[in-house]
Amino acid sequence: MLEINNIHKAFHKNEVLKGVSIKVNKGDVVVILGPSGSGKTTLLRCINFLERADRGEIIFDNLRVDINTASSQDISRIRKRTAFVFQNYNLFNNKTALENVTEGLIVARKVPKFEAIEIAKRALNKVGMSDRIDYYPSKLSGGQQQRVSIARAIAVNPDVVLFDEPTSALDPELIGEVLGIMKQLASEGTAMVVVTHEMSFAQDVANHIVFMDDGVIVEEGHPKDVFSKPREERTKRFLSRILPYSDYDI
Amino acid sequence: MELNLDYLIKTFFLAITGIPTTLEITIVALLVATPISFFMAIYKIYNVKIIKQIITAYVSVIRGTPIVLQILIVYSLLPSLFNMAVKSMGWNWDVFSMNPIIYAYIVFSLNTIAGLSEVFRSALLTVNTGQLEAAHAIGMTTVQAYTRIVIPQALVVAMPNICNLTVNLIKGTSLAFMMTVKEITSIAKIEASFGYNYIESYIDIFLIYIIVCSITQLLFSLVEKHFRSYKSITKAS
């Protein structure tokens, strides 16, 4: 469904992505792992043009976009098929929870208002925020804000949801509520690409693990294989640092 | 010293007739400055080369010179420049019979542009770019994101500074008497010169500015309260 080919991106002279390709099928949960600075977040941001890659190609079914020649229509087409969940939620502070969700429907997708409100209420119900729809973001906890931002992402019915470290800014006791919702979405067949450090989520929910380091994909495969018998030295080292109780032959 | 109360009251009501002119200059300056300074702020934030430097130079020239001097320069230079331009175009139009309030519009607009562009710039910077990215990510255009998300929040932050600037502008228009504009100060001063009742006139001017500026501040605080509603817990509760 979604294919990203040979993405290159440099900031000034620092090459962050050195030719990365990934494939996402319908219903896939792809988890991208890797040490900080490996380019995971940049890759995710390049997929919906929050960051413009220097070169590469994004293919969405029959929509093929060369990054160098992408027009603003191409970008808007891709953005309408994807949704993004940010590490810092980035809710619109001047809008209520409900308005945060309806905004993209009404303004960007021209959905009639009453219909947008129905869709938004359903999305907020799904993330367990029905009782807070009239609250402004400043009065919600981090976990609640992130749940609203997930509702905002799924309300537009995207083909794939991109999660950029969705739990990294949360207090430990709030992480569970967000991961729970992500698990539920995965079980319902929502395709997602997740950058995270939550290894339990990667092990239990992902059906494809991508391990990145230094701007390239070092290793990828089914979580069972990657976690139980990593092939590459760098993967082993990373996993043994993150999962201290595992013992890998290094 | 004895105050001439009759004169004081009479002149008070006479000087009040200058309020529309004062407000006219203020409002024209704000209306002219708002769109221009908004785009100046945007150009500065987005670091547009050359334009940014021109804007920075403009702001520092305006802010670095006393407004009295700007008035003197504009009022002594512009009429003859206009005259030259009109003559060279071959038009039959007497520049010197033009209402001097035009020059007041020009000076105070130039001034307000400089001040307001900095107010807007600092206010826009307080809205984190993440919200702009989030708006892009759900398919909104940059213009939609600015008008619906960024500007409403920036305005709340800017409101106290805009109020400050407006009050300063109102007070500053008192200098328009130098350009023979008939506003509050000049009416009262001219009146005083007949019978040498300067103290009474100054008291009148004093009172009128206090009243006008207090009402302005009150209006701004109401507007600010309205804009600030999203800082409350829920909508309209």
Q: Which residue ranges make up each domain of chain B?
A: 5-236
At a CB cut-off of 8 Å and minimum separation 6, what does B89 contact? none
Rounded CA-CA distance B200/B189 in Å is 10
Rounded CA-CA distance B122/B116 in Å is 10
Nearest Cα to Cα of residue A234 among A210, A218, A215: A218
Arithmetic mean of pLDDT over chain B: 91
pLDDT at A243: 78
Arithmetic mean of pLDDT over chain A: 91
Contact A1, A208 (CB under 8 A): no
- Residue B81, chain A, CB below 8 Å: the answer is no
Relative to beta strand A63-66, strand A216-221 is unpaired
Task: State the pLDDT confidence band at A244, using cuts at 50, 70 and 90.
Answer: low
pLDDT at B205: 93
Rounded CA-CA distance A86/A216 in Å is 23
For residue B223, the distance in angstroms to the closest alpha carbon of chain A comes to 15
Q: What angle do CA A214, A217, A186 make, to 5 degrees?
A: 120
Helix (H) or strand (E) holding A29: strand A29-33
Given a cut of 60, whether residue B207 has pLDDT beyond it is yes
At a CB cut-off of 8 Å and minimum separation 6, what does A122 contact? A155
Task: State the pLDDT confidence band at B87, using cuts at 50, 70 and 90.
Answer: confident
Q: Other CB atoms closer than 10 Å to residue A134's CB: what's the count? A: 15
pLDDT at B174: 93
Q: For B5-236, CATH number?
A: 1.10.3720.10
For residue B115, the distance in angstroms to the closest alpha carbon of chain A comes to 26
Q: What's the Cα-to-Cα distance from B186 to each of B30, B75, B183, rounded to whole Å?
A: 22, 16, 6
Nearest Cα to Cα of residue A156 among A88, A96, A76: A76
Nearest by CB to A107, which of B127, B137, B140? B140
Lowest mean pLDDT across A98-112, B95-109, B133-147: B95-109
**Residue in chain A lying closest to B134 (CA):** A90
Given a cut of 60, whether residue B237 has pLDDT beyond it is no
Does the ipTM surpass 0.95?
no
Rounded CA-CA distance B111/B70 in Å is 9
> Using one digit for the tens of pLDDT, what is the confidence trace for A10-31?
998 899 999 999 999 998 999 9
CB contact under 8 A, B135 and A91: no
- Residue B151, chain A, CB below 8 Å: the answer is no
User: What is this structure's pTM?
Assistant: 0.85
Q: What's the Cα-to-Cα distance from B22 to each of A1, B113, B199, rounded to whole Å?
A: 65, 18, 21
Task: State the pLDDT confidence band at B186, using cuts at 50, 70 and 90.
Answer: very high
CB contact under 8 A, B233 and A136: yes
Given a cut of 60, whether residue A98 has pLDDT beyond it is yes
Relative to beta strand A63-66, strand A14-24 is unpaired
